[in-house]
Amino acid sequence: MIGISTPIRLSALFAASLFTAATAHAAMSEWMDNQGGRMRLIALAPGAEGHIRAALQIEPAPGWITYWREPGQGGIPPQVTPAPDSGVTLEKAGYPVPKQITVGNIKEIGYDAPVILPLDFRVTGKTPAELKLTAFVGLCKEICIPFQADYSLPLPAGEQPTTHELALLDAARALLPEAPSSHFAVQSHKISADAKTLSLQLALPEATGDAPTIYVTGPSGYVFFQQMNAKRDGSTFSTDIEIGKLPKNYDPKGKSWGILIVDGDRAMETSLVLE
């Protein structure tokens, strides 16, 4: 498969919607809506070590989709940006396992059902009384509508979250891909001299099954998932991933790429250092 960049469907940019979220109780904003769906922010007060546990909950409307961190041939990846005066930085955003979605001739990677993206923030100065950020996602059907919302969510230290809020945050983390292990890992990887193929040998958690789905994320805006020469022998699997067009003058040597492997109802995510 050719290198897939992530161009925004510019013809739909005029339809972008901007919202400022009215705050609700301590750990959850109001839902903000647009034509393609809705989203809200969930967050807990900063912990003793200066971390803020949060999540962005996105619910596409029926028939609409939203996107993974690398959306494929079209679409808009989620972006969460703390306000400059927020006193926090975003350390990590997590993504549950996506699916391949074909829209016409376009192959995209995302979600056609509600999804919660776990967010981990670090306090960089004085403990903030509120979490201030901008969330920007794409919601797409026949057209792609950028959806932006500004949040200012109070985080009073003495107020305890409800069971519902904790359940949403716990569910979001539970749906993330697992880390590598001895029985689910990349055993070896090698990119060809012409950077056209990435050869993989994997250890899979099950001894039987179809070929796993594999997403390789290269430089920002590029994702590869077309397999060649795939062979499964029990819990061992080998395949070549076709690497298409890369950015001009881009040298993959020494770069770290991401990989997500989905085998049945299990998924594992890790990084690959290319040599």
Cα(236)–Cα(217) distance, rounded to whole angstroms?
22
Q: Could you report how far apart the first and last alpha carbons of the chain are, in Å?
A: 21
List beta partners, residue 242. 197
Task: With residue 168 as reference, give the H or E element that holds it.
Answer: helix 163-174
Q: Is the dihedral of CA 3, 226, 197, 180 positive or negative?
A: positive
List beta partners, residue 199. 190, 240
Distances 3 to 10, 71, 101, 121, 274 between C-alpha atoms, Å: 20, 12, 17, 32, 17
Task: With residue 121 as reference, give the H or E element that holds it.
Answer: strand 115-123
List beta partners, residue 147. 17, 137
Give the pLDDT of residue 199.
Answer: 98
Domains and their CATH numbers in the chain = 10-174 (2.60.40.1250), 185-273 (2.60.40.10)
Answer for the pair 58, 91: CB distance below 8 angstroms, yes or no: no
Give the pLDDT of residue 103.
Answer: 77
Give the pLDDT of residue 18.
Answer: 47
Tens of pLDDT along the chain (275 residues) come to 334 444 333 333 333 444 444 433 448 999 999 999 999 999 998 988 899 999 999 999 999 999 999 999 888 999 999 999 999 999 999 999 999 998 778 889 999 999 999 999 999 988 899 999 999 999 999 888 999 999 999 987 777 778 888 999 999 999 999 999 999 999 999 999 999 999 999 999 988 889 999 999 999 999 999 999 999 999 999 999 999 889 999 999 999 999 999 999 999 999 999 99
> pTM of the prediction?
0.87
